[in-house]
Amino acid sequence: YRTAGLESCAKTLTLLMDRRLQEWTEDTGRILPSQSGFCEHHRVQNASYILRAMAEKAFSLGRHLTVEVLDLKDAFLSVDQPSLWAKLARWDPVGPLLD
């Protein structure tokens, strides 16, 4: 998830929590490199480039390439947040991060 702080008084706290979570996920390897939108110095253009390269390779080999596209436009509005907090707690982040 991308961080979103809605109240101006909570923006600093939200930013601090985001930085700590980012450091923790990088240190523990919780976010895979394939999740390029959530990795530093990675952009969604990386995925577009990979898809184009795969299509060009398939074309040059005379093969078909099957691609599935998911419409996640409203996915974040219906996320079960208690389940996400429970999963994060099972990963056992160290320190007062969740406190």
* Residue at 21 is within a domain: no
Q: 0.85 exceeded by the pTM?
A: no
H-assigned helices in the chain: 11-28, 44-60, 81-90
* Residue at 9 is within a domain: no
- Chain segment 56-70, per-residue pLDDT in tens: 999 999 999 998 887
Query: Does 1 score more than 50 pLDDT?
Result: no
Range of the domain at 56: 33-91
* Residue at 3 is within a domain: no
Would residue 64 be called left, alpha or beta, if left means φ above 0 and alpha means ψ between -120 and 50 degrees? Answer: beta
- Chain segment 4-43, per-residue pLDDT in tens: 555 566 677 777 788 888 788 878 887 776 676 666 666 7
Q: How many domains is the chain partitioned into structurally?
A: 1
